[in-house]
């Protein structure tokens, strides 16, 4: 099995055709890593999450793979980065890498899968057998793929969290409305992270700090108007900030929305 070093991270790679070959290739990589370490007692894998990154093309897949490796020390994971193309000839090809996280001798297991033909419509039959048992599954919709498949009942039941970026869609407002409808359908079983919302974090912090001192806090409830720029991020932030401010106002009773409460912002 080839081994390379990317920056400080030691990587071991293998290629496999078909799902059965993939599982044995992954086991062989672990065995090779163990053999190289010369320490039989060290073979313990720590993992906290399965990440499935669904990508539309190879460029996005590369970006997703880099991100997964980048967060591996904090979120040790098995990551499946998938590019599915139902119009391509039938194939299931995978590149498997063990990349050292830099913490002890722990690895992130990165599996890049290319799926062509009809199986690309049935990704759960490919993904499910490859998950590490009993830890959460986070489905990351990389780029701006159509959301219909991600919000199918079986996909929602399978995933502990769906991660997407509403900022990547041409019509973010329409996307947000669609997501709101999905919350109505699935209720508490749908847990969602929006990267676009995370992107506003520095601004939210700045605004929060601006109203944090005892001298300025009373002004929070005396805001009578906000000028919002044309960018969607500004509108998103203004909307949610005013929602939070209204909710905290003394005497205010918020209209309950069971699904929306599950959104982790």
Binding site for other proteins (CB under 8 A): 19-20, 23, 27, 30-31, 34-35, 40-41, 43-48, 74, 92, 115, 118-119, 122, 124-126, 128-129, 131-136, 154, 160, 188-189
- In the structure encoding, which two tokens stand for residue 86, read together? 């139902």
Q: What are the CB-based long-range contacts (under 8 Å, 24+) for 26-31?
A: 26/96, 26/109, 26/111, 28/1, 29/1, 29/96, 29/98, 30/98
Shortest distance, position 129 Cβ to other proteins, whole Å: 4
Shortest distance, position 4 Cβ to other proteins, whole Å: 21
Shortest distance, position 39 Cβ to other proteins, whole Å: 10
- In the structure encoding, which two tokens stand for residue 160, read together? 């502990």
Shortest distance, position 215 Cβ to other proteins, whole Å: 26
Strand 161-164 to strand 137-141: parallel, antiparallel, or no bridges (unpaired)?
Answer: parallel
Longest dimension (CA), the chain: 68
| Residue 34 exposure: Cα atoms within 13 Å on the Cβ side | 12
Comparing CB distances to other proteins, the nearer of 131 and 220 is 131
Nearest to 186 by CA among 254, 134, 135, 262: 262
Shortest distance, position 102 Cβ to other proteins, whole Å: 13
């Amino acid at each position: 099995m080839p081994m390379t070093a990317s920056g400080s991270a030691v990587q071991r790679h293998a290629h496999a055709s078909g799902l059965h070959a993939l599982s044995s290739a992954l086991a062989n990589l672990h065995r090779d890593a163990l053999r190289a370490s010369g320490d039989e007692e060290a073979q313990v894998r720590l993992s906290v999450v399965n990440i499935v990154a669904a990508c539309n093309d190879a460029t996005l897949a590369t970006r997703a793979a880099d991100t997964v490796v980048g967060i591996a020390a904090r979120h040790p994971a098995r990551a499946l980065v998938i590019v599915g193309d139902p119009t391509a000839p039938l194939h299931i090809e995978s590149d498997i890498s063990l990349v050292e996280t830099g913490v002890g001798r722990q690895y992130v297991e990165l599996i890049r899968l290319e799926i062509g033909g009809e199986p690309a419509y049935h990704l759960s039959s490919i993904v499910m057998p490859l998950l590490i048992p009993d830890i959460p599954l986070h489905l990351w919709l990389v780029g701006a793929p159509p959301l219909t498949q991600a919000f199918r009942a079986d996909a929602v039941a399978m995933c502990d969290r769906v991660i997407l970026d509403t900022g990547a869609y041409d019509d973010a407002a329409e996307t947000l409305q669609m997501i709101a409808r999905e919350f109505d359908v699935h209720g508490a079983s749908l847990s969602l992270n929006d990267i676009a919302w995370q992107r506003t974090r520095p601004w939210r912090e700045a605004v929060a700090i601006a109203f944090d001192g005892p001298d300025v806090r009373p002004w929070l409830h005396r805001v009578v108007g906000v000028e919002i720029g044309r960018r969607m991020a500004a509108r998103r932030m203004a909307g949610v900030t005013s929602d939070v401010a209204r909710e905290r106002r003394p005497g205010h009773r918020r209209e309950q929305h069971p699904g929306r409460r599950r959104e982790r912002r």
